[in-house]
Amino acid sequence: MRIGFFIREAVRATRRSAAPSFAALATVLVTLLVLGVFIPIVQATNGAADSVRSRVEVDVYMKTHATAADDARVRQELLNVPHVKSVQFVSKATAYAQQSKIDPAAYKLLGTNPLPDTFHVIPDNPSNVLAVHNSLSPPTGGGGTGTIDQSIQTVSNKRNDTKKILEVTNLVTITAAALTVLLTIASILLIANTIRLSLYARRREVEVMKLVGATDWFIRWPFVIEGIVVGAAGALLAIAVLAVTKIALLDPLANNWTLIAAPRTISFTALVIVLMGAGVGVSALGSGLSLRRFLRV
């Protein structure tokens, strides 16, 4: 009976103060729309950054006269280096086939195969690439760098490129994270503020309730339920708009644009749950907490 009473009170309040309720609903709708668009974009950006980073690797070139036994030995040695996830072997012949496909005329002119056997060493984490590189080319006495095996010719020295890629992708990830945090805070503040305004209009009512002898929670529950209703309505509308946009605009494009089809973006179901939770949670909490100030009578 209590719960029924609170729900009836909440419905009555929403109906009788339609304008502030609508303002709160619109705020929830807009902020959730922005969030709903922003979350997949951030994730796509992060996915792109990650795929760039995953291409970061160390190339180990063998001496041209290295035998199959040498290759096998070096492979094992490489796998023993810390932070190495996997090692990919590209034989002379494979490399020649690949390269000559790109520029057949030049390689035909060359006649012989100048390419060495190559190992692509992939670190367990892109940011460990420099560590791997360092352990593969330990410093020698003369100030230069050596190798860990006699049959290794060189270890690719793309230090600068690698560093740049890591820095740029890091920056992108951090910026995206910061934007997400800021946007979330802005949404919470915006919703809480709208709710506070609508409560402010009803503070006299709250004061009267207190003077009649209502307990804090007796007054608060209807407001919290109202917050839940408004938040849920706003979230549902936002989700509907997003769903329509997704089906009508994004899905046809996804075939052509890899960024949109990026496999790492959040699934739509998960997005719906996040938005619903955020909408309901923030507005219910906002109503309950904002009311505290007016309850001190």
Query: Is residue 5 a contact residue for other proteins (CB under 8 A)?
Result: yes
* Interface residue with other proteins, options 213, 255, 256, 269 (CB under 8 A): 213
Can you read off the two tokens belonging to residue 214? 């209502």
Query: Is residue 12 a contact residue for other proteins (CB under 8 A)?
Result: yes
* Interface residue with other proteins, options 218, 236, 288, 289 (CB under 8 A): 218
Binding residues among 278-297 for other proteins as defined by CB under 8 A: 297
Asked if 78 and 119 touch (Cβ cutoff 8 Å), the reply is yes
Give dist(CA 287, CA 223) in Å, integer.
Answer: 6
* Interface residue with other proteins, options 7, 11, 17, 113 (CB under 8 A): 17
Q: What angle do CA 161, 164, 166 make, to 5 degrees?
A: 110
- Compute the least distance from the CB of residue 227 to other proteins, in Å: 17
Query: Is residue 214 a contact residue for other proteins (CB under 8 A)?
Result: yes
Three-state SS for 11-60 is HHHHHHCHHHHHHHHHHHHHHHHHHHHHHHHHHHHHHHHHHHHHCCCEEE
Query: Is residue 201 a contact residue for other proteins (CB under 8 A)?
Result: no
* Interface residue with other proteins, options 26, 216, 250, 260 (CB under 8 A): 216
Per-residue DSSP letter, 145: B
Give dist(CA 90, CA 8) in Å, integer.
Answer: 73
- Compute the least distance from the CB of residue 201 to other proteins, in Å: 11
Query: Is residue 211 a contact residue for other proteins (CB under 8 A)?
Result: yes
Asked if 181 and 38 touch (Cβ cutoff 8 Å), the reply is no
- Compute the least distance from the CB of residue 21 to other proteins, in Å: 13
Query: Is residue 50 a contact residue for other proteins (CB under 8 A)?
Result: no
